[in-house]
Amino acid sequence: MSEFNIYPAIDIRGGKCVRLLQGDYDKETVYGDSPVDMAARFEKAGASWIHMVDLDGAKEKKRVNDEFVVKAAKELTAKIQVGGGIRTAEDVAYYLENGVDRVILGSVAVQHPDFAKEMLAKYKEKIAIGLDAREGYVAVNGWLETSEVTAVELGQKMAEYGAETFIFTDIAKDGMLSGPNVEAISQLAKATGKKVIASGGVSKLDDLKELAFYRNEGVAGAIVGKAIYTEKVDLEQALTEVDQ
């Protein structure tokens, strides 16, 4: 059976651990003062991967909260994947050379596909492509703009360039605790023939079980944020029952 990993999420803004509603920077809830302490808590619960996002970086198009990501990567044994504000070869190298296991290319993959192609050729499975979609179309720059490319089109193009892992977010579902868009996630896995990690909408253990049902069709995991912070999902229980 194919693996299915749960990725507890840490979104960093102003050095704190926060969640935004549908990516809206005006709708923020602070869940902790230390992203590194939060990552340690997730590791203690049994997480083998932790998903970290530099929200300030996504908005400002450069690394802003990278020190917290690197600190977590160096201090913990759990693997770290990071997204947000990664725009240059130097950004990618910086994270990978400092212990981060996987770097997510989001907006830059839409706006500069040749750069994504170059990074995929150089770092292979250490690069994931983040596809954040609004009504099927990829959104960029901290979700502030929508492109004219569909998630499936970009996914197929990046798969041709060597991408093995995609992170798919349905923006309409993000932070809403309304259940993931399982259809769109499995469709992307089918269209690309690659691994897809689901992001956005997970609100209960059954959502994770439903996604894990498609593990042999390429659905390789789920990123869970708000549901953990609001205790709708018990991370330890989810890791025991779903994460393999």
The secondary structure of 136-202 as a DSSP string is TEEEETTTTEEEEEEHHHHHHHHHHTT--EEEEEEGGGTTT-S---HHHHHHHHHHH-SEEEEES--
Cβ burial 79-91 (10 Å sphere, 16+ → b, else e): bbbbbbbbbeeeb
On the CB side of 236, how many CA atoms lie within 13 Å of its CA? 3
Active-site residue set: 11, 132
Instruction: With a cut of 80, say whether residue 194 has pLDDT above it.
Output: yes
Contact by Cβ (8 Å): 71, 106: no
Mean predicted confidence (pLDDT) in 78-88: 96
pTM of the model: 0.94
What pLDDT does residue 21 have?
86
| Cα 51 to Cα 11: distance, rounded to the nearest angstrom | 8
On the CB side of 200, how many CA atoms lie within 13 Å of its CA? 22
Q: Among all chains, which residue has been given the structure tokens 């170059």?
A: 118
**Confidence tier at 244 by pLDDT (50, 70, 90):** low
Instruction: With a cut of 80, say whether residue 144 has pLDDT above it.
Output: no
| Cα 7 to Cα 48: distance, rounded to the nearest angstrom | 8
pLDDT > 70 in the chain, percent: 100
> Which pair of tokens denotes residue 34?
């230390």
